[in-house]
Structure 1
Amino acid sequence: MRIGLYFGSFNPIHTGHLIIANYVAYNTDLDKVWFVVSPQNPLKTSSTLLNEHDRFHLVELAIKDEPRLRASNIEFSLPRPSFTVDTLAFMGEKFPTQEFAIIMGSDSFQNLPRWKNYMHIVQHYPIYVYRRPGHDITDTYGARVEILNAPMLDISATDIRKWIKEGKSVRYMVPDGVINYIQENNYFR
């Protein structure tokens, strides 16, 4: 089975993430897409980060009815901050019969040379890159890259957190079950 790993903090997961994951699951040679919820991104600050177990639960709520999508908390048990190269090695040991690929936006792909042991990643894993406006792919860094024209929504988790804090509606930007859970638990207030 070929599995695409979609890494992120998903703070919170939103419709933009879901559209990309669903598009990749049904429009590439990958069989499934796993949302790998990162406890801490080494390139981001974590001051506004919701607890990883809560973010994982929100991802589960968002994808519960889609058989090709899965939430993964595999990085929760790894040393922090979690580095993609270490997660891939661990997943290879835990799931030796699976083939893994990485899914990322062209904005993140531009940062690839800043990643720990990125040459190992590009030599051993295909990378599915969805285009983000303003972030053209000018160099593949030697990776096996498949460029995707997935439908894009210009929304961000940062904006969603801000609107929730301001008491504004985020309906249609976040799945209903996720919104309800966020409201019930007073997240991002």
Structure 2
Amino acid sequence: MKIGLYFGTFNPIHIGHLIIANHMAEYSDLDQIWMVVTPHNPFKKKNTLLEDSHRLEMVHLATEDFPKIKPSDIEFKLAQPNYTINTLVHLQEKHPTYEFSLIMGEDNLRSLHRWKNYEAIIAHHEIYVYPRISTDEENLESKESQHFGTKIHMIDAPVVEISSTFIRDNIKKGKNVQPLLPTEVWKYIDHNNFYKK
């Protein structure tokens, strides 16, 4: 089975995340997409980051109607600070018959050479890349990233420019951001009064 790992703080998960995940599930050769919730880094102060359990619950609520998309708390169990390579090694040991790939935006692909042990990631895992709005100069850099070769799959997914930061900021301002969130996620945020302070 081919699993695509889509990492994020998902603070909160929004329709943009779901559009990308569903596109990868339906229009690539990946069998499942695992939404890997990044835990709070104990070494960083992030007042706007909800507790891990709340962010995981929102991913559960957002994906329950999508059988090919699964929430994952795998990084909650790993020592912090954690690196992607550690997660991949841990998952491969736990699920030796699965093939794990990374899902990332073009912007992350451009900085991949700065990741810890990126050579090992490229050697053992494929990468599925979705487009982001970028400048011509950035596109040139993205083309240079193609030296990673056949391990990179550029997926023509919709370009979605919605950010969790925008959603949080506008909830705080009292704006209605309901169309940007899965219905059950919006209800969960509203019920718990998240992001209002």
Contact 2:25 2:33 in 1 (8 A): yes
Range with greater deviation from structure 2 (124-133 or 143-152): 143-152
Contact 1:122 1:141 in 2 (8 A): no
Which of residues 143, 153, 157 is equivalent to 1:150?
Answer: 157
- Stretches of structure 2 lacking an aligned partner (at least 5 in a row): none
Q: CA deviation at 1:140?
A: 2.8
Question: Deviation string for 1:113-145 (max 9, x for gaps)?
Answer: 121111110111000000101042221352510
Moved over 4 A (4+): none
SS of the counterpart of 2:128? Answer: strand
- The residue type paired with residue 70 of structure 1 is K
Range with greater deviation from structure 2 (111-120 or 86-95): 111-120
Once residues 45 and 151 of structure 1 are traced to their aligned partners in structure 2, the CA distance between those partners, rounded to angstroms, is 33
Report the identity percentage: 47
Aligned to 1:185: 192
Count how many residue pairs are aligned between Structure 1 and Structure 2. Answer: 188
- TM-score (ref. length: structure 1): 0.95
Question: Deviation string for 1:143-176 (max 9, x for gaps)?
Answer: 5100011012211000000011111111221011
Once residues 194 and 113 of structure 2 are traced to their aligned partners in structure 1, the CA distance between those partners, rounded to angstroms, is 34
Contact 2:39 2:75 in 1 (8 A): yes
Residue 161 in structure 1 maps to residue 168 in structure 2: yes
Contact 2:132 2:160 in 1 (8 A): no
Aligned to 1:118: 118
Aligned to 1:31: 31
Aligned to 2:59: 59
- The residue type paired with residue 2 of structure 2 is R
Q: What RMSD over aligned residues (CA atoms) do the two structures have, in Å?
A: 1.6
SS of the counterpart of 1:34? Answer: strand
Q: CA deviation at 1:110?
A: 1.2
Contact 1:4 1:30 in 2 (8 A): yes
- TM-score (ref. length: structure 2): 0.91
Aligned to 1:140: 146
Aligned to 2:83: 83
- The residue type paired with residue 67 of structure 1 is P
Once residues 140 and 120 of structure 1 are traced to their aligned partners in structure 2, the CA distance between those partners, rounded to angstroms, is 16
Residue 128 in structure 1 maps to residue 123 in structure 2: no
